[in-house]
Amino acid sequence: MDKVYISQLRVDTIIGVYDFEKESKQSLYFDIEMDCDLRQAAQSDDLSYTIDYALVSQRVTEHCLAKPVELLETLVEQLAALILNEFNTPKVAITVSKPAAVPAAQTVGVKIVRSQS
Ligand SMILES: Nc1nc2c(c(=O)[nH]1)N=C([C@H](O)[C@@H](O)CO)CN2
Phi, psi of 18 (to 5 degrees): -90, 155
Measured over all CA atoms, what is the biggest interatomic distance in the chain, rounded to whole angstroms?
52
Contacting residues for 65 by C-beta, under 8 A, at least 6 apart: 11, 13
pLDDT digits (tens, 9 = 90+) for 20-29: 999 999 999 9
Decide: 18 in ligand 1 pocket, CB within 6 A: yes
Cα of 18 vs centre of ligand 1, distance in Å, is 9
Could you say which of 3.30.1130.10, 3.40.50.300, 3.90.1150.10, 3.40.640.10 is the CATH number of the domain covering 3-115?
3.30.1130.10
72 — pLDDT class (breaks 50, 70, 90): very high
Q: What number is the average pLDDT over the span 50-73?
A: 98
> Residue 98: CB within 6 Å of ligand 1?
yes
Whether 111 is a known active-site residue: answer: no
Q: What is the pTM of this model?
A: 0.97
* Any atom of ligand 1 within 6 Å of the Cβ of 72: yes
Q: Is the dihedral of CA 31, 34, 37, 38 positive or negative?
A: negative
ipTM score: 0.96
